[in-house]
Amino acid sequence: MKIIELHKSVTEDNDLDAKKLNEELTEKGILLINLMSAAGSGKTTLLSRTIRDLKDEVKIAVLEADIAGSVDAERIEALGAKSIQVHTDGMCHMDAGMTRTGLNEMELAGTELAFLENIGNLICPAEFATGAHKNVMILSVPEGDDKPLKYPLMFRESDVLLITKTDTKPFFSFDEEACIKRVKDLQPNIQIFPVSAKTGEGMAAWEDWLKQQLLH
Ligand SMILES: Nc1nc2c(ncn2[C@@H]2O[C@H](COP(=O)(O)OP(=O)(O)OP(=O)(O)O)[C@@H](O)[C@H]2O)c(=O)[nH]1
Ligand SMILES: [Mg+2]
């Protein structure tokens, strides 16, 4: 497993760098999705299920960003998808320069869809553009329906919200309707897909959305 140690980007204007990276990826026909959520919401599990479902149709690569360890990249590699692990030198986010460095370490020829699994937390990742075409965030049922009220920025910055672990609804008092209203008050254009990566419920709608975003 390839592990890359990243350091703080020296670029002064991250937004500009993100725009540049996005253009470079578009030129190569690679759709980059920035996947964000709190730690343990189910990012790697969702990616694993998505890869299992789509790998015969779409060539997928995953950039796994963590403070330490390589378990997530190993989980992805075990599914036969291309994956690399980056460490962020203790930083709680990825920026565009770090994303470019990680992607450059992967052999991406022929890749149509690349995911960045961002560092698990609901705050910092939302503050930095990564160069991704779309921001997708996860809120899992056990985290609670009040999170849009407490951590508004990530919801505001996201194109898609996946409400995951729907199979656990019987055990939690998660008010989906109230949650969706709170999210839409922050970001009226957001698309919301309730899913369970465990049972597969709702996964087809999310995967159809993904396929529609592909650049060719
Ligand atoms: N019941 C249920 N459990 C799930 C689902 N998705 C993920 N989990 C569980 O949630 C836990 C965390 O899942 P991960 O996929 O590792 O979460 P993550 O967001 O990648 O975690 P970090 O990378 O550490 O931020 C694991 O025990 C998963 O099995 C789901 O849809 N339903
Ligand atoms: Mg993970």
Cα–ligand 1 centroid distance for 8 (angstroms)? 28
Q: Do 166 and 141 meet the contact criterion of CB atoms below 8 Å apart? A: yes
List the residue whose alpha carbon is closest to atom 10 of ligand 1: 42
Q: Do 93 and 128 meet the contact criterion of CB atoms below 8 Å apart? A: yes
Per DSSP, the three-state class of 63 is: strand
List the residue whose alpha carbon is closest to atom 14 of ligand 1: 42
Cα–ligand 1 centroid distance for 41 (angstroms)? 5
Per-residue pLDDT of the chain (216 residues; tens, 9 = 90+): 889 998 877 778 999 999 999 999 999 999 999 999 999 999 999 999 999 999 999 999 999 999 999 999 999 999 989 999 999 999 999 999 999 999 999 999 999 999 999 999 999 999 999 999 999 999 999 999 999 999 999 999 999 999 999 999 999 999 999 999 999 999 999 999 999 999 999 999 999 999 999 998
Q: Do 62 and 86 meet the contact criterion of CB atoms below 8 Å apart? A: no
pLDDT of residue 182: 98
pLDDT of residue 9: 75
145 torsion bin: left (phi>0), alpha (psi -120 to 50), beta (else): alpha
The domain limits of the chain are 3-136+201-213
**In CATH, which superfamily holds the domain spanning 3-136+201-213?**
P-loop containing nucleotide triphosphate hydrolases (3.40.50.300)
Cα–ligand 2 centroid distance for 40 (angstroms)? 7
- The CB of 29 under 6 Å from ligand 1? The reply is no
- The CB of 97 under 6 Å from ligand 1? The reply is no
pLDDT of residue 12: 80
Cα–ligand 2 centroid distance for 44 (angstroms)? 4
